[in-house]
Amino acid sequence: MMRIKEIYIHPVKSLRPISLSSAILTATGIPHDRRYMLFKHNPSASDPANQLQRMTVTCFAELGLFTQSLSEANDGKFTVTYNPPPGAEKKKTQLGLEFDPDVQALEEMEVNLHGSKTRAMDMGREINGWFSDCFGWDVICVYMPKGSTRQVLGNLAPNAVGDGTKEGGSGNSWFSTLTAYVPESLKGKEDEEEEEEEEEEGITFADCAPYLVVTEESVRDVSSRLPDGAEMDVTKFRPNIVLEGADEAYEEDYWGAISILPSHADDGNQTDDKSSEVEILLTQNCIRCQSLNVDYTNGTYAKTEEGAVLKKLMKDRRVDQGKKYSPVFGRYGFLGGKGEGRGGMVHVGDEVRLSKRNGERTKFYWPGLM
């Protein structure tokens, strides 16, 4: 029997996560996950396109020095803590951020992440200054306000056309492609309802999907490749949901959907009512990069065997023909079901069953994402 072992959110993208005992699953992900993002400001760059460089742990190992935690006051805030590396002159320092800040007075800007654009708000001098002091260069912290999302590209969304691999393909349903060419005056109520449903497949600053699911069994396999006594830190895979109880490592490569049977809200006991199940559609593999090699203590890419995790996975985990030169670990997911009733509260310890198994591995495609 599979169960949820861990639940994580990353309020600021690429910083270390917050562990939760329960969470509400929504169409755009767990609330507050990856709504903030950092950019390195290079105003002297000759090309305007290079003046803002997105900061992800793939390229900025220093992001591993920042932890996030819930406010003890339970006041709608969380705390970002900068933990300087050993021997550094800088001191440990903290910043409080709101999950849902007032954005009325903030400057709006456009953010392009992996070719998928959205509007975001520049959080201003005080917050930008705190991050800039920690990093030693100019940083802009942005927030994606409620109502804003990014479009899901390629073949990631559950309603993607075919395999979504045609050049320039958006991965949206045939309906959205058709209605894009219909004048507004000719669109009826059903059209509007369908468009609203399509808009629900938006994402925050998560790379490609609202959810990332991994299994403890696969994490344990990675640990077995490290020196004796070393264990792989599951948070380096940046999951939202960690499952335990899979039959074997990497069997999730073939998973098409999982269903979570939430605990009873009143007494914490598991319910047998399948109508309350929360389904996550697992559409594509997660392609991995050198973020797996980050040394969280020093904010660098580790020089020991623990800094060779990506290389170790290259040997036998390059199993996705869409990205055949990169290893795979975990599955991207979207909330299943339709209408307002889908989703719901889930807890660590909730039972999980495999509700769909694919006959073959999926083939990842997101235009321009290398």
- What are 57's two structure tokens? 């742990």
Residue 350 contacts residue 4 (beta carbons within 8 Å): yes
Q: Does 24 have pLDDT greater than 90?
A: yes
Edge to edge, the sheet with strand 93-98 lists 66-70, 77-82, 93-98
Strands 93-98 and 255-261: unpaired
Question: What whole-number distance in Å separates Cα of residue 260 and Cα of residue 343?
Answer: 10
**Distance between CA atoms of 29 and 195, rounded to whole angstroms?**
19
Average pLDDT over residues 273-283: 87
CA atoms within 13 A on the CB side of 245: 13
pLDDT of residue 166: 46
pLDDT at 198: 45
The helix/strand/coil state of 251 is: helix
Q: Residue 9 is which amino acid?
A: I
Where residue 138 falls among pLDDT bands split at 50, 70, 90?
Answer: very high
Q: Which two tokens stand for residue 296?
A: 């969280």
Count of C-beta atoms within a 10 Å radius of residue 147? 8
Average pLDDT over residues 99-111: 97
Contacts of 350 (CB under 8 A, 6+ apart): 3, 4, 260, 261, 262, 263, 270
pLDDT (tens digit per residue) in 201-259: 799 999 999 999 999 999 999 999 999 889 999 999 999 999 999 999 999 999 999 99
Long-range contacts at 72-76 (CB < 8 A, ≥ 24 apart): 76/100
* 24-to-1, 143, 309, 347 alpha-carbon distances in Å: 22, 21, 32, 9
Q: What is the 3-state secondary structure (H, E, C) of 21-76?
A: CEEEEECCECCCCCCEEEEEECCCCCCHHHCEEECCCCCCHHHHHEEEEECCCCCC
Would you state the structure tokens that stand for residue 346, as one six-digit string?
């889930």
**pLDDT band with cut points at 50, 70 and 90 for residue 141:** very high
In this prediction the pTM is 0.88
